[in-house]
Amino acid sequence: MIYRGQLRIEAEHVQSSKTLITDAPVDNQGQGESFSPTDLLATALGSCMLTIMGIAGREHGFSIEGTRVGITKIMAADPRRVAEVRIELFFPSGGYSDKHKKVIRKAAETCPVALSLHPEIRQSLIFNFG
């Protein structure tokens, strides 16, 4: 990682050489032109859930392809921190049995990022099955 000035950071993924830029948010002295570090925390949670649900679907013979996630990050002050991440999952219509839904919920709730976050960070999940 390298600090590029103006509260902007550039990180390079060693294996792929892809780069990622973060900016401080506008409400914290930044330009808000890219993901903030706390945005990445919320995004990591959503993408981890999708990944683990995809693996679980593969293992149980169903697909979650086309599933979308909406993420809302709620900040708290004093100290400034992420207080809650609201995650709303929208699954393609049809084809999910009660067993599939149970597998999906468990996968989302037990993804590594979800289990790594401090217990004081509320994780609110809403599942919309078509």
Instruction: For 11-37, write each residue's pLDDT tens digit.
Output: 999 999 999 999 999 999 999 999 999
**CATH classification code of 36-129:** 3.30.300.20
112-124, pLDDT tens digit by residue?
A: 999 999 999 999 9
55-58 LR contacts (CB < 8 Å, sep 24+): 55/107, 56/103, 56/104, 56/106, 56/107, 57/100, 57/103, 57/104
Reading the block at residue 109, the tokens are 């709730």
Domain boundaries along the sequence of the chain: 1-35, 36-129
What average pLDDT does the chain have?
96
pTM of the model: 0.93
Alpha-carbon 31 to chain mean position: 22
